[in-house]
Amino acid sequence: MYYKRESRWYDSTRGFFLFGRDQLALLTANFLADNNMHSILEIGCGTGYMERELRANGYGEWYCGLDISIEMLKETASKNSRTLFLGSDIDNIKGTWDCVLFSYPLTLMSDWRQVLDKGEKLLSKGGIISVVDFYHTSSSIYQAYMNLHQIGINQGTKEYLNKILSPLSTHVLRSKYRLWEYFYGIWQQKI
Ligand SMILES: C[S@@+](CC[C@H](N)C(=O)[O-])C[C@H]1O[C@@H](n2cnc3c(N)ncnc32)[C@H](O)[C@@H]1O
């Protein structure tokens, strides 16, 4: 329901607070290029922002994005005509992928641990999970605002990734409004 309302002006507003996406796209594209890897599955692709960023960094030919919001996917289809986008969640995905990407959907998922476990099982040998999301806020007002929008800021996500995978390059940064921190990075399948 929330994304049904938001989908039309999503891209023009999210640049103001979904920080770290461009850095993650670059980090991911560089890792895949260095390791001769190609296929990317994005869970919660929204309007396809990351696909466009990956393409700008030379990646995207082997990209598949999925999202449970058909409204967001309609916006995606109007902007990214060459790519496969599916209205689905991770349970319906088969095969293996060099990279499973999560750009800000995990804080919306109550079952994020299980989703990350499933993502890990979909990795090809030596593949990576790429994540960017909210990390922490010390502001009770901002926390209340996020709770209102059912966004669960949770430092546990990064720690859980460190547990099930091997961290390769991870970063915690403060947003420019200094109200919250976000994290991004890539984690490799344990070999
Ligand atoms: C904050 S938006 C981020 C969109 C995009 N990745 C970006 O960086 O602009 C989160 C997206 O995750 C999607 N989403 C939430 N739960 C999901 C689930 N269980 N499976 C697939 N997509 C989901 C929402 O519909 C929404 O489009």
Q: Please give the model's pTM, rounded to 2 decimal places.
A: 0.91
CA distance to 5, 66, 133, 153, per residue, from 140 (Å): 26, 33, 19, 12
Q: Is the CB of 48 under 6 A from ligand 1?
A: no
Q: Check if the beta carbon of residue 54 is closer than 8 Å to that of residue 60.
A: yes
* Amino acid found at 133: D
Residues of 53-88 as b/e, b for ≥16 C-beta within 10 angstroms? bbbebebbebbbbbbbbebbbebbeeebeebebeee
Q: Is the CB of 54 under 6 A from ligand 1?
A: no
Q: What is the pLDDT along the chain (191 residues), one digit of tens a residue?
A: 555 555 655 565 666 679 999 999 999 999 999 999 999 999 999 989 999 999 999 886 788 889 988 888 877 776 665 667 777 778 889 899 999 999 999 999 999 999 999 999 999 999 999 999 999 999 999 899 899 888 888 889 999 999 999 999 999 999 987 889 999 999 999 98
Q: Which CATH superfamily is domain 2-186 in?
A: Vaccinia Virus protein VP39 (3.40.50.150)
Domain boundaries, the chain: 2-186
pLDDT score, position 169: 98
Exposure on the CB side of residue 167, measured as CA atoms within 13 A? 13
Q: Is the CB of 28 under 6 A from ligand 1?
A: no
pLDDT score, position 4: 58
Q: Is the CB of 72 under 6 A from ligand 1?
A: yes
C-alpha–C-alpha distance, residues 186 and 191, integer Å: 15
What radius of gyration do the chain's Cα atoms show?
16
Which of 69, 88, 153 gets mutated to test ligand 1 (max ligand atoms within 8 A of its CB)?
A: 69
Among protein residues, the one whose CA lies closest to atom 1 of ligand 1? 104
